[in-house]
A and B are shown apart, each in its own frame.
Chain A
């Protein structure tokens, strides 16, 4: 389980997170929604210590990752897979080498075992036979699929998805959601999705949390969340310009 306790983070003079408290249940997909620039990605990057808080803690399986040393942190990071917003594939490598990269760096698998695992992952994300291409030679949707294949290469316990459908057309977006659902079924990881692809993302979420004004305004199982009477949640889900959330 991941538990975020009283997380505060500011950049320069701008306070982004003002005391976030959130529990992410093991084996479930939790989606974090919120307006653009409200700090969703900042919160996500705290979950595997890509960012460190000014105050507060992030507990992963009982360990506070904001206070542990580098080697302990690396051991915990190996439990994570991350699909970045732009996929963040290493552009000097082919897609095959990108997926093989964590396996080569972090396991003692032989090259033939790595090949088998990479082919399996590429097949699962619908990129069979595309491994020889470089990231610059494929579309945005294919990059996201390749990023997902790399995120799942080490069979992580937790997978973080940073805006997995941003920049994709609705059909591709749906196919990425479907892929996440399918992979979750196959691997049973704990998923954390940051998205504003509403309402599509609710279809694959077990739980939803909404970040507004630097705190979690509402969190709970998807059905309860959608039925929430919290005016902030209602305004955001319904896309109303008027309401407690300032749009401009």
Chain B
């Protein structure tokens, strides 16, 4: 299946600052792809480049099979885009805004728009300038969903939304899955927001993509391991490359095992043969993200363990989706 968004060695510089570095990523059709990273990691720059709001400094991006620099009305009629700081004409009412958008999109579905408006609990005749932040975001989502886009791109949509509005917003996004072709690309600095929604995760930090993989594979290979020893806990030397964030306190050794694979637990238990108790537990996405973020920081100092967050089977031959940063 063709990826809906594909970037190849995409870089974007602002003067001397490189906001996005050599980013190669593909977003498969029919996925909800969460693009996660701390504030300032390069998420918005990537999205703006992909959406042809910015030009790449080098590399390229294709969207729905078209080079991002050539994206025009035909493509944008099939793409919905909502960003954190969406500008909407404040003097218009919601009805006015929808009437303004309708002729721009051949696939606009008036009945669907009205259904969404009710579900999102938006007033049709109040001016947008009197809308709360949450209402504005919902209005932007509504105007991007009413033509049932093949691709929905959301840049930090949940920032500053209260729990109820966020919930309505998510329900709106899920409406898309009703149609034959749909893909959602959603950026967030908070992995908790997208945990149940996403089936693919890409992690970006300091402009570099650190991983892109299905959520099931990510949660399948990360395990928190805690081992207790009779005496002082030993630290094996050399340390297995897949052990992240190894900590020791008296009798206890704690780390994150990131290799995954069939015999993974057996390997860990074998390496900890002297332990009186070994506990291996699955980890929430948030904890996986934190463990990776700590590793990025450590690795910034040196190259050691650079491949540690890649799954075992990907370490030797790196297929393009297990993107590793090149220097």
Are A and B part of the same complex?
Answer: no
